[in-house]
């Protein structure tokens, strides 16, 4: 399941709903991403006042569905969930939540990590950090590209 929303989410409620009534689930792995209060910008640590996330409705959901389908094709998941927020967020606010349920823990762990690695590099979100020195658009990071690359081809790659 995929949700792109402006509103915050309740992690406990989301986890209960994810596995409700499915006694085949033996493991749930999840990740919650939060807005940090500091970020490295131009080689210096800068205070983040707010972060504004933008996206293209329709295109974003389609890409997230492709990424989720890829995870479900690689691991035996009973359920998966991706929630990604947009709008203006403050330090400490939740940005993203990913959860994977499976009969066994390794599949849940691997699928959850895969989803986050590919979300960081493939999901069409744009982040503007409002810092103590002005607004800065967040560029992709090589470390994120390397993390995603270890899983093999992306949904946009032929073959």
In this predicted structure, the answer to whether residue 55 has a pLDDT above a threshold of 50 is yes
Span 152-156, average pLDDT:
65
Domain count, the chain: 1
25: containing domain: 2-134
pLDDT for res 152:
86
* CA 120/CA 20 separation, integer angstroms: 28
Element (H, E) at 43: none
Distances 133 to 21, 41, 54 between C-alpha atoms, Å:
50, 10, 21
Structure confidence by residue, pLDDT tens digits, 93-148: 999 999 999 999 999 999 999 999 999 888 899 999 998 888 888 877 787 778 78
**Secondary structure element (H or E) that encloses residue 51, with its range:** strand 44-55
- Least confident range of 26-35, 84-93, 127-136: 127-136
Residue 157: pLDDT over 50: no
CATH number at residue 26: 3.90.1170.40
- pLDDT tier for residue 159 given thresholds of 50, 70 and 90: very low
- Does residue 158 lie in a domain region? no
Residue 63 covered by a domain? yes
Does some domain include residue 109? yes
Q: pTM value?
A: 0.89
């Amino acid at each position: 399941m995929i949700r792109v929303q402006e509103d915050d989410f309740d992690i406990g409620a989301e986890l209960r709903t994810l596995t409700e009534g499915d006694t085949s689930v033996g493991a749930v792995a999840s990740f919650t991403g939060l807005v940090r209060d500091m970020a490295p910008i131009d080689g210096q640590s800068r205070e983040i006042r707010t972060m504004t996330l933008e996206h293209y409705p329709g295109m974003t959901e389609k890409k997230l569905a492709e990424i989720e389908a890829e995870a479900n094709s690689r691991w035996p998941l009973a359920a998966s969930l991706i929630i990604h927020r947009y709008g203006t967020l403050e330090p400490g606010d939740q940005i993203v939540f990913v959860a994977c349920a499976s009969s066994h823990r390794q599949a849940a762990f691997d699928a959850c990590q895969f989803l986050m690695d590919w979300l960081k590099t493939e999901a069409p979100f744009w982040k503007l950090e409002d810092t103590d020195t002005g607004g800065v658009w967040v560029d992709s990071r090589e470390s994120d590209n390397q993390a995603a690359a270890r899983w093999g081809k992306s949904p946009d790659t032929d073959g």
